[in-house]
Structure 1
Amino acid sequence: MSKTFYQFLMTQRNPGSYDPIAEFANNAFFDQAFPKQSQDFNEISKYLELNGNYLPSMTVFDDAWQKYLETNTHS
């Protein structure tokens, strides 16, 4: 069974990093309402557009999603 996007994102956490995906992961960790069980791009994207004020740009989500897809196809 493949990981949810949130599970993948948590592997990218690094509180000391300034990498945009690591910062996204760090902030998503504290987001109580993040759709943790979702593997759906549109659902997560819509959520972040409405609630992801900690995300400087949706491009960061797009880049993280691409990495998520790459890791899910190799596992």
Structure 2
Amino acid sequence: MRQSFYQFLMTQRNPEDYEPVAEFANNAFYDQAFPKQETRFDTLSKYLEENASYLPSMTVFDEAWQMYLEQD
């Protein structure tokens, strides 16, 4: 079974790294409402567009999503 996007994203956390995906992961960690079990792009994209003021651009999510897909 594929891990959730959130589980993958947490592997990218690094409080001392200022790369966009690492910052996204660091901020998502503190987002209590993040859909932690989600594996679908559309659901995650909609959530982030509507709720993630900490995400400066959806291209950061797109980059992280591509990394998520390539991990297997």
- Is the TM value for this pair above 0.5? yes
Q: Does 1:20 find its partner at 2:24?
A: no
- Cross-structure match for 1:46: 46
d(CA) in 2 for partners of 1:23, 1:37 = 20
TM-score by length of 2: 0.98
TM-score by length of 1: 0.94
Q: How large is the Cα RMSD of the aligned pairs? A: 0.4
The count of residues paired between Structure 1 and Structure 2 equals 72
| 2:59 aligned partner, one-letter code | T
State percent identity of aligned pairs: 71
Unaligned 5+ segments in structure 1 are none
Q: Does 1:70 find its partner at 2:66?
A: no
Unaligned 5+ segments in structure 2 are none
